[in-house]
Amino acid sequence: MKINIYYGGRGVIDDPTLYVLKKVREVLTELNVKVEQFNLYEEKKAIPSLPGTLKEADGIILAATVEWYGVGGLLMQFLDACWLYGDKDQLTDLYMAPIVMSTTYGEREGVQTLSAAWEMLGGLPCEGICGYIADTTSLENSTVYNRLIEKKAENIYRSINQRMPNFPASNQAVRKKVSQTKSANLTPQETEQLSHYVSDEKFVRTQKEDIQELSDLFRSKMDREQTDMLKVRASIGQIFKSHFRPVAGIHAGYRLTVEDAAGDRTTLLEVDNRNLSCTDNAAANTPVDVELTMDRRTFEEITAGRMTFQRAFMSGGMKMKGDFKLLRSLDQLFEFREGTQ
């Protein structure tokens, strides 16, 4: 059994929907469900092709955060793509559970919007999760809320696995009578391939030559980057020590892993008020408050002062586990400015 999650939020640190999705994934994984999550803010250019991923799923979850008004444009773009490029016959047997959390007003309206849209596509909506959460910390620290999320996740699994029947909806009947939108027989990529540019042999030949030139350029660049990484691997701890700016009242442990083709490097940063200790090649089982994972390029952008830790997380260049508030403190503890590395 497989369930796809399509998250239409912005991916910010305090997004309560991200926490709910994390707990739902844990429950579904324990139930031997294969779960795949698509973050639409990372897939903006690929949204028109995402309906093709529905064919492999037994059910889906549409997740959004209401921060101002409605579920946001990215999720609506995905639903538009389902209408234009999705397999309508396949959608008629596909269950959808909405998860909408709000930091303002409108989570119930968001659930209704997603359910109605899915019914218009011919799909089968089932009970999801919605709620108003002003502070994500209150959600994380509440045993009652966490148990409620687990129960709701089990209900989602039960509805999809047992294929719970639904009463016919009037908007489905209306769709069959008046919504005769022509289905696109070609994917967006196939449509582009048939354009006059691709049919131009001279254009295609020029593109191939440019691609070969870029391949040679990047290959030589990668060789230089591997050499540079050897220098970085020996000085990660020193870099953080030289840019440490103590903040009173912070006691935290951070495990930073920099991934690279030449080999990953893990460094342990322990902050105790005005004191900082750095341990390279730290053991993976050392208990910490926050775990950070990023590639070498993101590490260089941060330490060069061109990107903050929070921005790296929001853009998907850095992954983290642990306390979100302590992650936010990193940009206060370590002051990187462009040109000072």
pLDDT digits (tens, 9 = 90+) for 29-56: 999 999 999 999 999 989 999 999 999 8
* Distances, alpha carbon 340 to alpha carbons 242, 288, 300, 323, 337, in Å: 10, 28, 12, 29, 6
Phi, psi of 258 (to 5 degrees): -105, 115
Query: pLDDT of 148-186, one tens digit each?
Result: 999 999 999 999 999 888 777 766 665 555 555 555 555
Q: What is the mean pLDDT of residues 293-311?
A: 89
What is the Rg, in whole angstroms, of the alpha carbon atoms belonging to the chain?
Answer: 24
Predicted pLDDT at 237:
79
Grade residue 228 by pLDDT with cuts at 50, 70 and 90. Answer: low
**Pair 50, 38: CB distance under 8 Å:** yes
**CA–CA separation, 76 and 319 (whole Å):** 26
Contact present, 270 and 304 (Cβ < 8 Å) = no
Closest by alpha carbon to 31, among 125, 128, 153?
Answer: 153
pLDDT at residue number 223: 57
Please, what sign has the CA dihedral across residues 163, 28, 37, 2? negative
What letter would DSSP give residue 194?
A: T
For the chain, count helices (H), then strands (E).
13, 11
180-220: pLDDT as tens digits: 555 555 555 555 455 445 445 666 677 777 888 887 777 76
pLDDT given at position 129: 96
| CATH class of the domain comprising 2-178 | alpha beta
Q: Are 129 and 159 in contact (CB under 8 A)?
A: no
Whether residue 97 has pLDDT greater than 70: yes
CATH of domain 236-333: 3.30.1050.10
Axis crossing angle, helix 170-178 with helix 107-120, rounded to the nearest 10:
50
Residues 273, 238, 275, CA angle at the centre, nearest 5°? 10
Domain ranges of the chain: 2-178, 236-333
- Contact between 139 and 145 under an 8 Å Cβ cutoff? The reply is yes
The pLDDT assigned to 242 comes to 86
- State the virtual CA torsion across 146, 37, 97, 164 in degrees, nearest 10: -100
DSSP letters spanning 269-291: EEEETTEEEEEET--TTS--SEE
Mean pLDDT of 287-308: 89
Question: 194 vs 82, 188, 197, 203, 217, CA distance in Å?
Answer: 22, 10, 8, 13, 30
CA distance 270 to 265: 17
